Amino acid sequence: MILGLFVWPTILLAGGQSPELQAVRWFNNPVFRLEDDRKVLLFFFDIDPNKDARETLRHVEQINVLTKQKDWVVIGLTSARPSEVESFIREHRVRFTVGAGSKSSRDYKVDRFPRLIVVDRKSGKRETGEAAPGFSEMDLEALTRMNRSAAPQASDFWPELSKMDVAELRDYLESDAHGMDRAGAVGHLFEQMGNEEFVRYAEDRIKVETDPWARGKLRYYTEVARGVRADDDGPSPSARALTAMNEDPTNEIWAPIRAYEALPEAERADADKVFSIYQSSSGDSPVDSLIRRAATTDLWRRCASSHQPVVRKRLLQIAAADPDASIRMIACMALGKVCAVGDTEAADFLESLAEHEPETVRTKPMMEYVSHYLRTGQEESETMTPRP
């Protein structure tokens, strides 16, 4: 299954201290953690039908295995077009996050492909208390050795959900696999079951399901089966606008967001200034949604260190009121970093928002997850309680 990743136009590996990872479109959502200091393996590769792809495919085979190790995140980056990448992912069963139309190889000074770079986000923390990422290269031989040494952990590699029957899908959904992995089984189960049978099963499963993303998929397809919503789980308006801008970056329609991005760093780190711009972009045009999205991200990434109480207040407002589901979700993610563990006021607020959140696949689960994290300090979804 291929999942489009619409949350971030860029990915920051360590508080902006390393080059941002940029792409026109992202595929395959990584497992999200708030306190995320896992090592990152960057896989730079090209897709050229005129070149021998065997070396790239040897890398893909080993990287697919690595994705099952909980202390690693894998991100593939290629300049190939999204349509080419989507075909490549399907044909070769790629299980890790991939950014298409990426120019990050230039920022990381990569001039040969395929190439592996390890980013250690724990480096420097003992001395400074801040993440100062360390960079090193890894070759395929070293990756293969590492996978072999971790073989027992990786033995439960991703199942082929599309080949499972109803009984196998139910067994997998009810297994102890990671919740985000299990959530992928729900859509296949819906396709194979009749509507009434699926609704009965989903209602029973939700009562005991701890993972918010699996619950979100169960809720979504229950509504589809009942006919109260269309099967229309697609990108939010801001995500669609982001894709459109990346595909036609010189179009004058994007001038306002380009002007915002060109502001001096000091202005983009001023919480009051940023929120004022956010409020002035309250329209429903694509560029307004992009400005609000960028401003929300700046409140988190650029403003929080010096304006924490103000940023917390503004992010709570955005999570409650922004009309764009992706922006509400970004605000919730940000609150997980801006608020301290034990902030029960914020946890209660997010929990109350989650009860009425209409976007059940991504935004509602994030609200539930961050609320749980702020209340308990536990970042694994397996520690959560069911929410029928």
Instruction: pLDDT band for 2, please (50, 70, 90 cuts).
Output: very low
**pLDDT tens figures, 101-136:** 999 998 888 988 999 999 886 654 433 334 445 678
DSSP string, 67-118: TTSTTEEEEEE--S-HHHHHHHHHHHT--SEEEES--HHHHTT--SSSEEEE
What was the pLDDT predicted at 382? 76
Round to whole Å and give the CA distance between 191 and 186. 9
Region 173-190: what's the mean pLDDT? 87
Asked if pLDDT for residue 155 goes beyond 50, the answer is: no
The pTM of this model reads: 0.71
Which two three-digit tokens encode residue 87? 């075909």
CA angle 373, 375, 376 (to 5 degrees): 70
Average pLDDT over residues 318-330: 96
Position 178 confidence tier, pLDDT thresholds 50, 70, 90: confident
Residue 10 has pLDDT above 90, yes or no: no
CA separation for the pair 241, 239 (Å, rounded): 5
Q: What pLDDT was estimated at residue 122? A: 65
What residue type is assigned to position 271 of the chain? A
- 20-39 pLDDT, tens digit per residue, is 788 888 888 766 666 667 88
In the prediction, which pLDDT does 32 show?
64
Q: Residue 306: which of 343, 266, 277 has the closest Cα?
A: 266
Q: What is the mean pLDDT of residues 243-263?
A: 91
Q: For residue 330, what pLDDT is reported?
A: 92
If phi over 0 gives left and psi between -120 and 50 gives alpha, with beta otherwise, what is residue 96?
Answer: beta
Contact (Cβ atoms closer than 8 angstroms) between residue 353 and residue 367:
yes
Tens digits of per-residue pLDDT, 42-54? 999 999 876 777 8
Q: How far apart are CA 58 and CA 45, in angstroms?
A: 12
Distance, in Å, from the CA atom of 124 to the CA atom of 15, rounded to the nearest integer, reads 13
Q: What is the mean pLDDT of residues 153-179?
A: 77
Mind spelling out the 3-state secondary structure of 155-196? CCCCCCHHHCCHHHHHHHHCCCCCHHHHHHHHHHHHHHCCHH
Q: Among the listed ranges 171-175, 181-185, 337-341, which one has the minimum average pLDDT value? A: 181-185
C-alpha 325/C-alpha 169 separation (Å) is 29
pLDDT at 126: 33
Kindly list the distances between the CA atom of residue 197 and the CA atoms of 65, 68, 219, in Å, as whole numbers in the listed order.
35, 32, 14
> Which of 43-57, 141-155, 161-175, 352-366 has maximum average pLDDT?
352-366
Task: List the structure tokens of 166.
Answer: 């109803």
For residue 133, the number of C-alpha atoms closer than 13 Å in the C-beta half-sphere is 22
Are the CB atoms for 318 and 279 separated by under 8 Å? no
DSSP sequence for 256-311: HHHHHHTS-HHHHT-HHHHHHHHHHT-SSSHHHHHHHHHHHHHIIIIITTT-HHHH
How many whole angstroms separate alpha carbon 9 and alpha carbon 198?
A: 35
* CA gap 13, 33 in Å, rounded: 13
Burial 94-114 (b: 16+ CB within 10 A, else e): bbbbbbbbbebbeebebeebb
How many Cβ atoms sit within 10 Å of the Cβ of residue 172? 18
Tokens at residue 338, please? Answer: 């801006």
The per-type count for the chain, helices as H runs and strands as E runs, is 19, 9
Give the model's pLDDT for residue 20: 76
Determine the 3-state secondary structure of 14 from DSSP.
coil
List Cα–Cα distances, 297 to 128, 263, 267, 288, 291, in angstroms: 24, 15, 14, 14, 10
